[in-house]
Amino acid sequence: MTSRQIALVTGASRGLGRSTALALAHRGVRVVVTYREDAQGADDTVRVITGAGGDALAMPLDIGDVDSFAAFGAELVEQLRARWNTENLDILVNNAGIGIFAPLAEVTTATFDAVVNTNFRGTFFLVQALVPHIPAGGRIINVSTSLTRHASPGTSVYSASKAALEVLTRSLAIELGARGIRINAVAPGPSATDFNGGAMRDAPELRNNLAAQTALGRVGEPDEIGDAIAALASDDMRWVTAERIEVSGGSLI
Ligand SMILES: NC(=O)c1ccc[n+]([C@@H]2O[C@H](COP(=O)([O-])OP(=O)(O)OC[C@H]3O[C@@H](n4cnc5c(N)ncnc54)[C@H](OP(=O)(O)O)[C@@H]3O)[C@@H](O)[C@H]2O)c1
């Protein structure tokens, strides 16, 4: 991977998106850090990258607002031209996502739509909007979850939205493969971030229960997911497409 490559990571203001942005930057990739509302978090991500000698910029992007993607694409091209004299992206990491966990009877149309619109619909249309800017050799990574492989109460809508993303990944691998673009899904296991109210990080009982379900005996740290995504994005993995790679420390095997 050369220092000329450019990645866009959605939801990189914190958590796994931030760790992915940092891991890519560590490998010499320039990064467009997008965020929904946490501008300060995105600026912090940029600051850490530039402080370590890397190059990054931050842009707002609500993945649930598909109607904004055309304007976002135009602004992105402006930024890429002004900053790095290009209109192209080499790597797109679709990390932004939400989890709303509730049993069947408590799922509302509002929560259902929020999860599906963010995790699946928004990601689909963002790929559609940005793929004209991804040349041959480009790669796309969709962030899924280990919950598409094993079941857990109250996770139906979240898991199904991510399962849809995985099927999308395989389907698009055929369409995009013809253009020399590879696309894969990374499926993290429980990881210590703000996700689900920070439960995997801050709720000792849940954390210990989840840790006991993994072969390696703990929940994941954000850097362990970011490094895996950056590795999958690297040229060392250039013959890998249409795959789902789980990064869960061997959860519920
Ligand atoms: N943590 C885990 O245990 C775990 C396990 C499996 C999969 N995952 C998946 O990994 C991804 C990242 O999770 P995380 O743990 O890093 O979560 P997190 O700490 O809650 O961070 C979520 C990130 O997504 C952004 N985001 C949320 N809704 C958005 C929207 N509508 N448009 C744009 N950005 C949006 C947030 O932006 P703001 O900061 O601006 O709100 C934030 O940067 C998600 O797709 C999640 O489903 C997480």
**Alpha carbon distance 28, 15 (integer Å):** 20
> Is the predicted pLDDT of residue 1 greater than 80, yes or no?
no
Atom of ligand 1 nearest to the CA of 225: 10
- Residue with the nearest Cα to atom 7 of ligand 1? 145
Q: Which atom of ligand 1 is nearest to the CA of 19?
A: 16
Ligand 1 environment, Cβ below 6 A: 10-11, 13-17, 35-38, 41, 61-64, 95-99, 118, 143, 145, 188, 190-191, 193-195, 200
Q: What is the pLDDT of residues 95-122, one digit of tens each?
A: 999 999 999 999 999 999 999 999 999 9
Q: Which sequence positions are flagged as catalytic? A: 158
Is residue 7 classed exposed, middle or buried when 0-12, 13-18 and 19+ CB atoms within 10 A define those classes? buried
Please report which confidence band the pLDDT of residue 4 belongs to, taking 50, 70 and 90 as the band edges: confident
Question: Which atom from ligand 1 is nearest to the alpha carbon of 147?
Answer: 6
Write out pLDDT tens, residues 208-248: 999 999 999 999 999 999 999 999 999 999 999 999 999 99
**Tens digits of residue pLDDT in 165-223:** 999 999 999 999 999 999 999 999 999 999 989 988 999 999 999 999 999 999 999 99
Residue from 64, 74, 67, 68 nearest 94 by CA: 64
Task: Collect all residues with Cβ–Cβ distance below 8 Å to 105 and sequence separation of at least 6.
Answer: none
Q: Is the pLDDT of residue 25 over 80?
A: yes
CATH architecture of the domain with residue range 6-247: 3-Layer(aba) Sandwich (3.40)
What is the residue extent of each domain of the chain?
6-247
% the chain with pLDDT above 70: 99
pLDDT, residue 2, reads 43
178 CA distance to ligand 1 middle (Å): 30
